[in-house]
Each structure stands twice: as structure tokens, then as C-alpha cells.
Amino acid sequence: MKNAFQAVIFPTSAQTFEARNISVVPGGSGFRYYKHGQAVIFNRDALAQEKEKPVFIVEGIIDALSVMEAGGQAIGLSSADNYRLLLSELDKISPAKPLILCFDADETGAKFEAKLIDELEKRHIPFLQATKDIAGEYHDANDRLVKDAEGLRAAIVSVYEKVSALPDPAEEAKSEYLKTSAGKSVSAFLDTITANAGKPRLSTGFRAIDDALDGGLYTGLYFIGAVSSLGKTTLTLQMADNLAKQGRDVLFFSLEQSKFDLMSKSISRETFLYCRNNGLGTKNAKSNLAIMDGRRWAGFSDTEKNVMKGAFGAYRNFADHVFIHEGVGNISVDEIREKVRTHISLTGNKFPVVFIDYLQILKAAEGDERATDKQVVDHNVTALKQLSRDFDITVCAVSSLNRENYRNKISMSAFKESGAIEYGSDVLIGLQFMGAGEVGFDIDEAKTKDPREIEFCILKNRNGRTTSDGIPLLFYPVFNCFTDSDGNLSPLAKDMEDDLPF
């Protein structure tokens, strides 16, 4: 028979075996091994069945037999790069004791042992490295058995003693699991309550809204939805500015409008507030377009110049707390998370408030570029929820609505791709024109009013009440400003002198 040789046969399963040529002298040429069938771990049942002794992980079958001859328990991988077969077994069962790693004392053995260690650590499987202990000055366990049998036996006893000093993985896992009970979390719960007591209220700047939200905004995920022309971006920006006026840092992620567009909206509102608070006619207030168009400034009257100076001064008083990040469909939740982390790290402010305008044009997560719009929204809602929890912060995102709901009374079903929004939100808010959904309601007529009559509807509030009737607000679109229904305004920031290009 061609290539026939004297061999020792090692069955590895009912269909596979490994043969070792015993007629080839060490260092000689010729076939040394012959393997029949797919690679199979030798003595793999020991992983699940051995309860008393830790199991040695060695490369060769003869190494495994050598360890067993010297008093240990072992499995043989047949080859160092078969460590993946071991991982497949470990994904099915959990060894009763830590594994003992004893690859060959050479470059290949060290390479694959390092790969195995990396995977064991990912799986939180305890182990002990023992190649140097077992091989000593020799190449592997078999080499040492042949040349120093007593030394191998002593080394195995010593390694088992080392393993016995390690924490029992079963007891350790049980101890960690018991720590997850509610009873073990009472102290942490009280600490959280104490920490929350030290947090300032997050007032929206609107008395009626704060009352409905039990004091204002809390940690959690908020969504604000509305049809076009209702000012959802404007209201969100005004709430952000009101928080900044209270000394709270806000991160505003704008996926449609530029940083300067948003700044001009805020300053436009401040011109309106300045006029209202100083008894001046609103004809002296300025739209954001008038503010952006420097060509108009030369024609401003002295009164208009004073209004502008007061508005810019008021804006400067709180704008250092406003951080606007702009992008056009190229910002993902992961990037928002990184911006939050960076802000906290650099400023020391642990609780910035995050605003996103708007949800439906957030970029898909890496790897989800081919997902449907609904899948992208679902993923981003979940990611925003996790962002709020991880950093213990308020996250507020603007959402668009389904077009068929433009003339109807606002409801949770009006939100685009509403499944995840409805279930993932802590608070779900809808803006609608006063009278929407009623007989005779005309949306085009409602848009012509100045101010426009708007209702702020709390459709879902996980920890508070909802509003069966909307909270009435007045919206002045030209000046990018909302007020309570009685015309009350947020307090004006203190004026400061400013050099302006008049």
C-alpha cells in the first residue's frame, strides 16, 4: 500500500481518527500524521462532564494523553489553529472549572493561544495560562513526559493548586447575579434621588407647559411633532434658549438650517421681546431675514438700532450656553453621542440638554444604509433613548407628521413611522392649530392669523399626565416667538453694550 506505515490510531469520533507514524524517528522525513474526516476535538466531552478537575487545553492528542498519564484532565485540539472548534463548544456549554491553557512552547503556539485568550475574555470564561509551568524547558507536555515524567506530574499538581486559588466562577457568577436584585439597588436608588434633588428645574419658559409637565423637562426622550407652518423648530429653539437663560448648556443639532439661521431666529425673537418689555411697537422688531440682511441696517432708525443693540445684548447673555451643530442629513446618533461625551469632558457640565431638528433626517447607523425609512427611524429612536439613559440627560427631537393628518386633530398615529416613536418616547408632544379636526376648520385660514393660535398637546407622558385639551399658545411667525395665551413672555436677559455695525 502506497505511503503505508506503522501507526498508533487515535479515534476522535465514530467517523474520524488520527494516525501517528511511529516508524519515523524524530527529525526524520516521511509522513508523521494522517487525519481522516473533519477536525474534531479529542476528549471534548470532558468540557461538559468533568466537574472536579480543571481541564487542560493542549494542541495535540498525544499531549492530552500525556497530561492524563501524569494525573490531569485534558482535551486535544489536534492543531493550534483549531481553537475555533473549542470556542464553538464553549458557546454551547460552560465548564465547571477555569480552563488551563497549555499550547506548545513555540511561536505558533503563542500566536494561537493569544487569539484564544482574546475570545475567552470576550466571553467572560475564566482561564489560567500554564504553558511555561507544564512544558518547562521542553517543547510540550509529551516531550516533558518522555524526558521528565516526575517533573510533569509535579507541575500538574502545582497548576491545579494555582487554579484552586482562583475564585469559583459559579459562585462568582451567582454573587454578581444576586447583586442585580431590587433589594441590592435601594442604596443606589436613594443616591439617585439625592442627586436629582440637586438638579435645577428645567423650565421650558412657559408657565402652563411647565405646570402640565409637572415642573418642566426631566431626564428622558421627548418628541415634538407638528405640520408645517406651526413653528415646531421655532418652539424647540425657544425652549432651548430659555434653558440657556437659566444657565443650562444646550446642544442643538440642526439637520436643515444653518447655525446663523438659528441665531437670527433667536435674535429676532429678542427684538420682539425687547419691544414688548419696553413699551415699543412691534413694528420696531425685526424678522430673522432683516437681521441677516446687512444691507438694511444702514436704514434703521435710532429706535430700531436700540432694539437691535438690546436684542444682541440679551442674546450674548445666554448664547455661551448654546452649542449649535449643523449638518444636512449627515449626522447620526453615534455622532451626537460623541458630541455629548466631548462636551461633558471639556466643560465639566454633566447634564447638557440635547435638541435634534429633526428625527426623520438623522443619518442611518453604520451598516444600516440599505434599511427602510421605518427601520432607520426605529433604530434611531432606540439609540436616542439609550443616549438619554446612558448620560442621564434630556433629549428632545422634532418629528414630522403623516400628511393625511394635517387637517385632523393631532394624535399619536399622526407621527411618521409612529410605532417606535409612540413606544420609545417618554413624552410625546403634538402641536396643532386651534380647532383642528373640528367641523368647519380651515387650515389655510388658520395660517393667515397673526399671531397664530396653537395648541400644545401632551399625547403621552410616561411619568405624568396628558392633556385632553391642548395648552393654548400664541405664535408670532415673523418674529419667531411663542407666548402663553395671555401674552406672557419669558424674562428678558439683562442688556449689555455691544458694538454693532450700524
Domain boundaries, the chain: 39-169, 201-484
- Inter-residue contact 327 to 262 (CB < 8 Å): no
Say if residue 9's pLDDT is above 80: no
Average pLDDT over residues 260-278: 95
Q: What pLDDT is stored for residue 351 in this prediction?
A: 92
Share of the chain above pLDDT 90, in %: 50
Q: Are 398 and 358 in contact (CB under 8 A)?
A: yes
> For the segment 288-312, what is each residue's pLDDT rounded down to a tens digit?
999 999 899 989 999 999 999 999 9
- pLDDT number for residue 439: 85
At residue 373, the pLDDT reads: 81
pLDDT value at 100 more than 60:
yes
**Residue 248 carries which DSSP code?**
-
pLDDT at 169: 63
Q: At 79, is the pLDDT very low, low, confident or very high (cuts 50, 70, 90)? A: confident
How many Cα atoms within 13 Å fall on the side-chain side of residue 441?
Answer: 15
Give the angle 286-289-294 at the CA atoms, nearest 5°.
90
pLDDT higher than 70, residue 20: no
Which own/partner contact pairs does 9-16 have at CB distance under 8 Å and 24+ positions apart? 10/42, 10/61, 12/37, 12/40, 12/41, 12/42, 12/61, 12/78, 13/37, 13/40, 16/40
What's the pLDDT score for residue 152?
A: 93
Across 23-37, 366-380, 447-461, the highest mean pLDDT is recorded for 447-461
At 285, is the pLDDT very low, low, confident or very high (cuts 50, 70, 90)? very high
% the chain with pLDDT above 70: 86
Return the number of other C-beta atoms located less than 10 Å from residue 27's C-beta: 5
Q: Tell me, what's the pLDDT at 497?
A: 45
| CATH among 1.10.3720.10, 3.40.50.1100, 3.40.50.1370, 3.40.1360.10 for 39-169 | 3.40.1360.10
Q: Give residue-wise pLDDT tens across range 346-388.
A: 999 999 999 999 898 888 887 777 778 888 888 999 999 999 9
pLDDT at position 242:
95
Distance CA 446, CA 434 (A): 8
Average pLDDT value over all residues in the chain: 86
Q: 256 or 9: whose pLDDT is higher?
A: 256
Model confidence at 421, pLDDT cuts 50, 70, 90, reads confident
Tell whether the model's pLDDT for residue 7 goes beyond 80.
Answer: no
Amino acid at 223: F
- The yes-or-no verdict on residue 501 having pLDDT over 80 is no
Residue predicted with more confidence, 311 or 500? 311
Which pLDDT band, with edges at 50, 70 and 90, does 4 fall under? Answer: low
Given this model, what pLDDT does residue 494 score? 45
Residues whose CB is less than 8 angstroms from the CB of residue 1 and which lie 6 or more positions away in sequence, other chains included? none
Better pLDDT: 189 or 250: 250
pLDDT at 35 over 90: no
The yes-or-no verdict on residue 496 having pLDDT over 50 is: no
Write down the CATH number for the domain with range 201-484: 3.40.50.300
**Is the model's pLDDT at 440 over the cut of 80?**
yes
- What average pLDDT does range 53-81 have in this prediction? 90
pLDDT at 220 over 60: yes
Q: Where are the beta strands (DSSP E) in 346-479?
A: 353-357, 394-399, 427-433, 452-461, 471-476
Q: Do the domains 39-169 and 201-484 sit in the same CATH topology, yes or no?
A: no
**Grid cell of 61 as nine digits:** 492528542
pLDDT of residue 241: 97
